[in-house]
A and B are shown apart, each in its own frame.
Chain A
Amino acid sequence: MKRSSWFTSRFEIINAILIAVVSLTTAFAVWRTNVVGSNADDENRQGLIDAVKKQAFGNEHHRKVYEEAGFAYQFAVKQAEALALEASDDSAAQERAANIQQYLLPNMQLLAQPLATDEKYQNADGTYDLQKRLTDMQNAEEDQLDPSASFARADSLFAEQRWLVVGSVLLAVSLFWLALAEVSNGRLRTSGFTIGLAIYLLGILWFVGVELIFFYTRRGGS
């Protein structure tokens, strides 16, 4: 009875202090939510930068492969031409074939390397394996660029931000009940205070829970 009287007489001060604490917690929760959102935006930005870099590598590889393919095709054409000249009965044509094979084809082959020089790129029918050349062009730096990994991290951070916002709303709702208790009397005051305190604690638990769940989810995923 004595204790109850002590609480009742100081209720407004206790509740005011609690409202201040809840306000500070809400401010912290909003700050943390924004930090998580900002980190998600950073991951998105990184993912897009990686995507541009990866695409630039891809574009350059394709350009180079088709440039090499063009030279290799010209080499194959000239080689066939030389063989046709060689097969001719005309001695002048045979001399031309010999000169082409001796002076022109080696230079054209150099220009068409590695397709025309490396056997691993040559198909049985005399054409070239452009896909294999493209695969071999990919380097370690390019392999490290993984935009989808950055996007997955961003999605996870966005999901966390969403749930943290729910926590912030809970804290705001607790402010509502505590403020209601401050202006009420009797039983309404007690119930308002109890509900406000309960929602505040739930909000805190929610916030910590969300942080822990996403922390371990990302740790497990990485």
Chain B
Amino acid sequence: MNEPILTQHQQMENSDRYKNLIVVLTVFTTVLAAVLAALQADANIREGVASRDSQYLAILASGELQRAGLESNYEFSVLGDYLQNLQEGTVLELTALEQETSGKEDAAQASREIAALSQARTGIGEKFSILYTDPRYAPQNDDDLPKAEQYLTDIFEKANEIVAQQNEAADEYHNWDRKADLYVTALTIIAMAFFLFGMAQALKDARLRLTFAFFGIVVIGFSLLITVTTLLS
């Protein structure tokens, strides 16, 4: 008479077995998911800041490149003007000498007057050109040309520095972006663990319950592995 009651009791015990373990595992997974979410949020913040810095530096670099371009364009236009006037003046002086030698006094006088104009323009060009006024670029001897390459290096130095910083920020952005993505992967895997523990909770058979719990633990282990490697990288 008592036998069926005992069997029913045993069945109930069997179906309740490991239930507490599953609950503990589920709650542990919840905490793990919360910690992972915190890590993901942190990675996202760092990614956002690096992305912003990279964009801001790109704006600054483009502005600096434009400024350097305008300034060098102006300077080289003045230099070109100066060199043209200098050569024109020299050629006209030579012409005047030749004309004088061949007895064309009036023509020689006219050539000298035009040469004087070229020389006047040359004087202004020399005064306005940084390549002749700045001792860093000015030629040391009369026959030398100004150090234009040094000028170009100096004028684009700031832009190059900003671009280098921008590259660093872009690299940092990619690094944190990769980490944030990996944390999302780990979180997605944890969602699978939730599913497996949920199945384990719902099932009545103790062996099946343990099987699902085991796979849930394996999945959590995999997620932890991704988290730790990402954290250390």
Q: Which residues of A contact B (CB under 8 A)?
A: 33, 37, 40-41, 44, 47-48, 51-52, 55, 58-59, 62-63, 66, 69-70, 73, 76-77, 80-81, 83-85, 87-88, 90, 93, 125-127, 147, 151, 154-155, 158, 161-162, 165-166, 168-169, 172-173, 175-176, 179-180, 183-184
Q: What 6 A-B pairs have minimum CB-CB distances, sorted nearest first?
A: A172-B34, A84-B120, A80-B120, A55-B63, A165-B38, A66-B70
CA distance A76 to B85 in the complex (A): 14
- Give the residue among B19, B48, B124, B127 with the most A Cβ atoms within 10 A: B124
Q: Contact: B30 with A80, CB < 8 Å?
A: no
Instruction: Decide: A183 and B66 in contact? CB cutoff 8 A.
Output: no
Asked whether A81 and B117 contact (CB < 8 A) given A169-B35, A169-B38, the answer is yes
Cα separation A156 to B30 with both chains bound (whole Å): 29
Question: With a CB–CB cut-off of 8 A, which chain B residues contact A179?
Answer: 23, 27
Q: Which of B43-86 contact A (CB under 8 A)?
A: 45, 48-49, 52, 55-56, 59-60, 62-63, 66-67, 70-71, 73-74, 77-78, 81
Chain B contributes a number of interface residues (CB within 8 A of A) equal to 46
Q: In whole angstroms, how far apart are the Cα atoms of A41 and B67 in the complex?
A: 30
Q: Would you call B62 and A55 a contact (CB within 8 A)? A: yes
Dominant SS among interface residues on chain A: helix
Residue of B nearest to A88 (CB): B113
B229 within 8 A of A: no
Q: A62-B67, A66-B71, A169-B31 are in contact. List 14 more A-B contacts (CB 8 A).
A: A47-B52, A47-B56, A48-B59, A62-B71, A73-B124, A77-B125, A85-B117, A88-B116, A126-B124, A126-B127, A162-B45, A168-B34, A176-B28, A176-B31
Known contacts A48-B59, A84-B119; A127 and B128 CB within 8 A of each other: yes
Are A166's CB and B120's CB within 8 A? no
Minimum CB–CB distance from B15 to chain A (whole Å) comes to: 15
A69 touches B74 (CB 8 A): yes
A77 to B122, CA, bound (A): 8
Chain A hits for B134, CB < 8 A: none
Give B66's nearest chain A residue, CB to CB.
A59
Q: Please report whether the interface of chain B is mostly helix, strand, loop or mixed according to DSSP.
A: helix
Residues of B within 8 A of A41 (CB): 48
Contact residues of B between 1 and 53, Cβ < 8 Å to A: 19-20, 23-24, 27-28, 30-31, 33-35, 37-38, 41-42, 45, 48-49, 52
Interchain CB contact under 8 A, A125 and B34 = no
**Are B27's CB and A175's CB within 8 A?**
yes
- A183 near B23: Cβ-Cβ < 8 Å: yes
The minimal Cβ–Cβ distance linking B56 to chain A, given in whole angstroms, is 5
Complex Cα gap A84–B114 (Å): 10
Pairwise interchain contact A66-B128, C-beta atoms closer than 8 A: no
**Is B127 a contact partner of A90 (Cβ separation < 8 A)?**
no
| Cα–Cα, bound, A62→B68 (Å) | 9
Distance in angstroms between the alpha carbons of A33 and B27 in the assembled complex:
22
Structural contact, A147 and B120, CB atoms closer than 8 A: no
Q: How far is A201 from B150 in the complex, measured between Cα atoms in Å?
A: 66
- The residues of A that contact B59 with a CB separation of less than 8 Å are 48, 51-52, 55
Which B-chain residue is minimally distant from A76 (CB atoms)? B124
